[in-house]
Chain A
Amino acid sequence: MVLAADAAAQAAGLHVGMPATKAQALVPGLVIQDADPTANSEALERLAFWILQRVAPIVAADPPDGVVIDAVGADHLHGGEAATLAMLVEKLAGFGLRARAAIADTWGAAHALARFDARPGLVSEPGNAARDVAPLSIASLRLASDMVRDLHVLGFDSVGDVLAQPRAPLALRFGPELGRRLDQAIGRLAEPIEPIRPEALIEVRRAFAEPIGAAQTLSRYIRELAKQLCGALERRGLGARRLDLICQRVDSRAQAVRVGTGLPLRDVKRMTRLLCDKIETIDPGFGIEVMTLAATVAEPLLPKQSSSNLIDQPEPDVSGLMDLLANRVGEKNLYRAAPVASDVPERAVRHIPVLAPETGAEWQGHWPRPSRLLMQPEAIDTVALLPDHPPASFTWRGVRRRVKRADGPERVFGEWWKRDPELTAVRDYFRLEDDAGERYWVYRAGDGEDPLTGSQRWFLHGIFG
Chain B
Amino acid sequence: MWPPSALESLRAQVRQIEGQHRRATPSLPFGVAAVDARLPGGALPLGALHEIAGGGNGAIDGAAAALFAAGIAARTRGKVLWCLTRLDLFAPALAQAGLNSDRVIYLEGGDEKTILACFEEGLRHGGLGAVVAEVARLPMTASRRLQLAAEGSGTIGIALRRWRRQTEASDFGQPTAATTRWRVSALPSTPLPVPGVGRPRWLVELIRCRAGESADFELEACDATGHLRLPADLVHRSGQAEGRRYSASA
Chain A CB within 8 A of B201 CB:
yes
Interface size for B (C-beta < 8 A) is: 58
Segment at the A interface, from B26-34, B95-103, B167-175: B95-103
Is there contact, CB below 8 Å, between B78 and A316?
yes
Give 1 or 0 for each of A407-448: 1 = CB within 8 Å of chain B CB.
Answer: 100000000000000000000000101011111000000000
Partner of B200, one of A334, A373, A404, A439: A439
Given A334-B105, A439-B197, A465-B221, answer yes or no on A370-B90 (Cβ-Cβ < 8 Å): yes
Given A335-B106, A372-B90, A465-B221, answer yes or no on A321-B125 (Cβ-Cβ < 8 Å): yes
Is there contact, CB below 8 Å, between B61 and A321?
no
Segment at the B interface, from A1-9, A99-107, A188-196, A354-362: A354-362
Describe B's contact surface by its main secondary structure: mixed
Chain B CB within 8 A of A231 CB:
no
Is there contact, CB below 8 Å, between B62 and A369?
no
Is there contact, CB below 8 Å, between A318 and B197?
no
Is there contact, CB below 8 Å, between B88 and A373?
yes
Bound-state CA distance A348–B64 (Å) is 21
Is there contact, CB below 8 Å, between B102 and A336?
yes
Residues of B within 8 A of A462 (CB): 90
Is there contact, CB below 8 Å, between B90 and A373?
yes
Least Cβ distance of B56 to chain A in Å? 7
Is there contact, CB below 8 Å, between B107 and A337?
no
Partner of A315, one of B78, B97, B202: B78
Please, which residue of chain B has its CB at the minimum distance from the CB of A324?
B121
Bound-state CA distance A463–B58 (Å) is 10
The residues in A between 142 and 165 inclusive whose CB is less than 8 angstroms from any CB of B are none
Please, which residue of chain A has its CB at the minimum distance from the CB of B202?
A465
Chain A CB within 8 A of B208 CB:
no
Chain A CB within 8 A of B128 CB:
yes
Bound-state CA distance A407–B187 (Å) is 17
Please, which residue of chain A has its CB at the minimum distance from the CB of B93?
A371
Chain B CB within 8 A of A88 CB:
no
Partner of A349, one of B92, B192, B195: B92
Residues of A within 8 A of B125 (CB): 318, 320-321
Please, which residue of chain A has its CB at the minimum distance from the CB of B203?
A437
Given A321-B128, A465-B200, answer yes or no on A333-B108 (Cβ-Cβ < 8 Å): yes
Least Cβ distance of A80 to chain B in Å? 11
Residues of B within 8 A of A464 (CB): 63, 93, 200
Give 1 or 0 for each of B63-105: 1 = CB within 8 Å of chain A CB.
Answer: 1111110100000001100000001111111111100111011
Residues of A within 8 A of B192 (CB): 405
Partner of A407, one of B102, B122, B196: B196
Residues of A within 8 A of B68 (CB): 465
Least Cβ distance of A338 to chain B in Å? 6
Bound-state CA distance A6–B70 (Å) is 57
Residues of A within 8 A of B64 (CB): 371, 465
Given A324-B121, A405-B189, A437-B201, answer yes or no on A362-B95 (Cβ-Cβ < 8 Å): yes
Bound-state CA distance A318–B125 (Å) is 8
Bound-state CA distance A328–B121 (Å) is 11
Chain A CB within 8 A of B57 CB:
yes
Is there contact, CB below 8 Å, between B94 and A371?
yes
Is there contact, CB below 8 Å, between B105 and A354?
yes
Is there contact, CB below 8 Å, between B197 and A406?
yes
Residues of A within 8 A of B198 (CB): 405
Chain A CB within 8 A of B59 CB:
no
Bound-state CA distance A359–B102 (Å) is 7
Residues of A within 8 A of B195 (CB): 405-407
Chain A CB within 8 A of B114 CB:
yes
Residues of B within 8 A of A369 (CB): 90, 92-93, 96
Residues of B within 8 A of A315 (CB): 78
Bound-state CA distance A391–B189 (Å) is 18
The residues in A between 344 and 358 inclusive whose CB is less than 8 angstroms from any CB of B are 345, 348-349, 351, 354, 358
Partner of A337, one of B57, B63, B91, B188: B91
Is there contact, CB below 8 Å, between A437 and B67?
no
Is there contact, CB below 8 Å, between A334 and B107?
yes
Residues of A within 8 A of B140 (CB): none
Bound-state CA distance A333–B70 (Å) is 21
Residues of A within 8 A of B241 (CB): none
Chain A CB within 8 A of B126 CB:
yes
Residues of B within 8 A of A348 (CB): 92
Bound-state CA distance A371–B65 (Å) is 9
Least Cβ distance of B240 to chain A in Å? 20
Residues of A within 8 A of B189 (CB): 405, 433, 437, 439
Partner of B122, one of A321, A335, A433, A435: A321
Known A328-B114, A435-B188; 9 more pairs at CB < 8 Å: A318-B105, A321-B125, A325-B107, A329-B108, A329-B110, A349-B91, A372-B63, A373-B88, A464-B200
Q: Could you list which residues of chain A lie within 8 angstroms of chain B, going by C-beta atoms? A: 315-318, 320-322, 324-325, 328-329, 333-339, 345, 348-349, 351, 354, 358-363, 368-375, 404-407, 431, 433, 435-439, 462-465
What 4 pairs between A and B have smallest CB-CB spacing? A316-B127, A465-B64, A465-B67, A373-B90
Q: Provide a sorted-by-A list of 25 A–B residue pairs whose CB atoms are within 8 angstroms.
A: A317-B127, A318-B125, A320-B125, A329-B110, A334-B105, A335-B106, A349-B91, A362-B95, A363-B91, A363-B92, A369-B93, A370-B93, A371-B63, A371-B70, A371-B97, A372-B88, A373-B89, A375-B88, A405-B197, A406-B196, A464-B200, A465-B66, A465-B186, A465-B202, A465-B221
